[in-house]
């Protein structure tokens, strides 16, 4: 008896939910998305990136933008336009990022923007999805003989000017320790100073640590990373508020890449799944069902992303993998990381 009621109730809720969803999606389809229309008319996606940071967005020797942020832009371009290369890169310094998005200079932002509450509530932008979980930690020379950040009392700490200063001050004062900040405007000088021994500790983002280690070559064994991570920096894509369809597209472009990795679909083997019997894979690749079509996407949008850009793991390997770094928090959830394949059904 009890069971039946529950089923019954679930059925009603489910029906109501489905009706609601249907009405919302019809409304969305009717409304359309001004951003999507503008992008299609222009034939290219204007994507705001930093353009100077290894692993996220940095032109290689041929001037081609490489990195996680660059590939995240490409994924959206592939989903929307069917061409991952239809991206216009707009390099932005951090202070311009939000303005460029608010004023419509860019359609989408993948510019190492930390997902914070005030940015979403005060700035008229909406975070789509975290493409890289970053965090600040400490790097010390092995010769210093330190194994925990709690032993750093009185240390000279090299860091970049800006928000990192506050993070350092919070950490040291809340643990009752003294420290001397040694501040630099940019990484190049900072790295040189640290290598020359001008400070004991290099306060560094996990992502920057990977490239720094790679730059050291064989000398990287002389430095050790302390286990403490003292700030959370979920780096996210962002869109303007007020265009829910565009928001969905940007978010699910990322989720599709994570799902593809979970399903074992890569840019190499994606075409071999055309004959797949798995309902999940058939839905994902647009062979069955209507995923994404309510947002105005072609049925094969996810296929285009994976074929042209690759899945999340491939993107990560391309950006950071060659230095033999650990994926850490950016592993799939099933491997102990935080990249979760939200169901696509």
Partner 1 sequence: MTRFLAPTIATPRPAPQDPRQWHDRLREDLFYSPGATLATLGMLALLAFAGWHLLNWALLDAVFTGTAELSPSDACRTPGVTGACWAVIGDKLRLILFGVYPYAEQWRPAVACVLMIVLYVLSVQRRLWRPSLALIWVVFLGAVIVLMRGGVFGLSSVTDDQWGGLPVTLILSTLGLGMAFPVAILLALARQQRKLPMLQAASVGLIEFARGVPLLVVLFMASVMMPLFLPADWQISKLLRVLIAFTLFGAAYLAEVIRGGLQAIPAGQYEAAAALSLNYAQTMRDVILPQALRMVIPGIVNIFIGFFKATSIVVVVGIFDLMTAAKRAVSDPLWQNAGIEVYLFAALIYFVFCFSLSRYSARLERDLARGATN
CB of 196 to partner 1, least distance (A): 12
Question: Looking at the DSSP assignment, which residues form a beta bridge with residue 108?
Answer: 47
Q: How far apart are CA 244 and CA 32, in angstroms?
A: 9
Distance of closest approach, residue 212 Cβ to partner 1, in angstroms: 7
Q: How far is the CB of 218 from partner 1 (least distance, A)?
A: 6
Q: How far is the CB of 264 from partner 1 (least distance, A)?
A: 30
Closest to partner 1 by CB, 4 vs 95, is 95
- Interacting residue ranges for partner 1, rule: CB under 8 A: 51-54, 58-65, 88-93, 95-96, 99-100, 102-105, 186-188, 191-192, 211-212, 214-215, 217-219, 323
State the minimum distance, in angstroms, from the CB of residue 299 to partner 1.
30
Residue closer to partner 1, measured from CB, 149 or 209? 209
Which residue lies nearer to partner 1 by CB, 93 or 150? 93
For 213, half-sphere exposure in the C-beta direction (CA atoms, 13 angstrom radius) is: 24
In whole angstroms, the minimum distance from the beta carbon of 55 to partner 1 comes to: 9
CA distance 97 to 101: 7
- Tokens, residue 255: 């989720």
Rounded least distance, CB 66 to partner 1, Å: 9
- Strands 155-160 and 201-205, bridge-based pairing: parallel
Cβ proximity to partner 1, 90 vs 250, nearer residue: 90
Minimum Å gap between C-beta 300 and partner 1 is: 27
Contact call for residues 51 and 89 (beta carbons, < 8 A) = yes
For the chain, what is the HEC assignment? CHHHHHHHHHHHHHHHHHHHHHHHHHHHHHHCCHHHHHHHHHCCEEEEECCCECCCEEECCCCCEECHHHHHHHHHHHHHHCCCCCEEEEECCHHHHHHHHHCCCCCEEEEEEECCHHHHHHCCEEEEEEEEEEEEEEEEEHHHCCCCHHHCCCEEEEEECCHHHHHHHHHHHHCCCCEEEEEECCHHHHHHHHHCCCCCEEEEEHHHHHHHHHHHHHHHHHEEEEEEEEEEEEEEEEEECCCHHHHHHHHHHHHHHHHHHHHCCCCCCHHHHCCCCCHHHHHHCCCCCCCCHHHCCCCCHHHHHHHHCCCHHHHHHHHHHHHCCCCHHHCEHHHCCCECCCCCC
- Residue 64 beta carbon to partner 1: minimum distance, rounded to whole angstroms: 7
Nearer to partner 1, 56 or 138 (CB): 56
Nearer to partner 1 (CB atom), residue 45 or residue 230: 45
């Amino acid at each position: 008896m009890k069971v039946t009621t529950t089923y019954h109730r679930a059925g009603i809720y489910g029906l109501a939910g489905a009706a609601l969803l249907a009405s919302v999606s019809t409304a969305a389809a009717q409304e359309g998305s001004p951003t999507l229309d503008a992008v299609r008319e222009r034939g290219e996606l204007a994507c705001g990136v930093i353009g100077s940071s290894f692993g996220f967005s940095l032109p290689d020797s041929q001037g081609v933008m490489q990195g996680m942020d660059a590939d995240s832009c490409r994924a959206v371009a592939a989903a929307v336009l069917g061409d991952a290369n239809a991206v216009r890169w707009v390099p932005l310094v951090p202070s311009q990022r939000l303005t460029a998005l608010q004023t419509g200079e860019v359609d989408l932002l993948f510019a190492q923007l930390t997902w914070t509450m005030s940015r979403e509530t005060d700035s008229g932008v909406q975070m789509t999805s975290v493409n890289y979980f970053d965090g600040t930690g400490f790097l010390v020379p092995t010769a210093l003989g330190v194994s925990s950040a709690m032993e750093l009392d009185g240390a000279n700490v090299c860091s970049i000017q800006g928000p990192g200063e506050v993070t350092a001050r919070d950490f040291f004062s809340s643990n009752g320790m003294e420290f001397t900040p040694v501040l630099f405007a940019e990484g190049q000088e900072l790295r040189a100073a640290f290598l020359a021994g001008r400070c004991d500790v290099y306060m560094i983002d996990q992502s920057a640590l990977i490239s720094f280690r790679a730059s050291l070559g064989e000398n990287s064994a002389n430095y050790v990373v302390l286990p403490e991570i003292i700030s959370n920096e979920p780096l996210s894509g962002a869109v303007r508020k007020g265009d829910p369809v565009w928001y969905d597209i940007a978010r699910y472009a990322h989720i599709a890449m994570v799902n593809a990795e979970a399903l074992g679909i890569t840019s190499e083997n994606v075409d071999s799944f055309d004959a797949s019997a798995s309902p999940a894979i058939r839905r994902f690749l647009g062979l069955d069902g209507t995923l994404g079509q309510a947002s105005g996407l072609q049925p094969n949008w996810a296929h285009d992303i994976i074929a042209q850009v690759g899945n999340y793991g491939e993107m990560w390997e391309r950006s950071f993998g060659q230095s033999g770094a650990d994926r850490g928090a950016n592993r799939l959830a099933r491997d102990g990381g935080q990249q979760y394949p939200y169901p696509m059904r």
